[in-house]
Amino acid sequence: MHHIVFLDRDSLVANVRRPRFEHDWTDYPGTEPADVVARLAGATIAITNKVPVREDAIAQLPGLKMIAVAATGTDNVDLAACRARGIAVANIRNYSVVAVPEHVFALMLALRRNLAAYRADVEAGRWEQSSRFCLLDHPIADLAGSRLGIVGYGALGQKVAQLGRAFGMRIAVATRTPPQDPGVEALPLEELLRTSDVVSLHLPLNDQTRGMIGARELGLMKKNALLINTARGGLVDEAALAHALANGVIGGAGFDVLSKEPPAPDNPLLRLRLPNFILTPHVAWASAGAMQTLADMLVDNIEAWADGRPQNLV
């Protein structure tokens, strides 16, 4: 009989059905890294969203047979150690193809139309003091006619492109696989950065992508360009971004992710109080519909593996 342990159940606000095979199940609201070994002792299947499961822990868990990641990203799991010990690792794919792209455009629209600055003006009573029927103190720009540069063109990048076309944007992508979609222009990364009005990142975090957007890359961008990141915080040098925003190197940024989460108090992006920067706490994925889809796919992955037909292995 399988023993299943969910290390951070509170990270998923959804109904998680129980697998149809014989098992026992233990939930923990959350788990500190130091407690991983003790809580997984005797487990054959571990479920983790963001709790790290590293090589030192895996070496002490001889009964562990599968890790079901309740997310797309697997950088919190030591995949090499799992492969060396024959532990299957499965992740969730394409569950947030509505939620994340909608969040991308929420950030994009709020920044292009200066919503934060105008809301602050209203709350400060400045509209009431206006001599005109409206306030026009902050620039407002349309999305239509501008270039949307998408870095990474998987399911999320493709959905962002689809929404961008609906807004009348011109689409360019930087991707290893040439896009087949009509009207989508493939560009080298540097040219995309130089020519795009909005750049949206949709890449996994790995050794090749870590820190890929730094001071040099930000300096290539247009001075009024926006940088949107709903992928992984480690893709961008956060100190360089804070400097770029404070000194007018780029026009603005909308981020839903940071390099460490929860963030350290000294993260330079937390200290920014600028109308051209919006930071949300890693919630782009977390619509009610997306979380329920994730929960269903999570158990699908576990059942498929137990039936000898594993899916979504990484």
Catalytic machinery residues: 232, 261, 282
- Quote the tokens at residue 67: 């890790």
Residue 313 forms beta bridges with which residues?
A: 90
Please name the amino acid found at residue 94. N
- Quote the tokens at residue 294: 């994730």
Give, as one character, the DSSP assignment of residue 213.
B
DSSP, collapsed to helix, strand or coil, labels residue 8 as coil
Closest by alpha carbon to 301, among 10, 95, 62?
95
Contact 18, 25 (CB under 8 A): yes
Q: How far, in Å, CA of 103 to CA of 108, rounded?
A: 8
- Quote the tokens at residue 274: 């600028």
Distances (CA, A) of 83 to 46, 89, 302: 15, 9, 17
Q: How far, in Å, CA of 171 to CA of 137, rounded?
A: 30
Closest by alpha carbon to 68, among 90, 39, 37, 95?
90
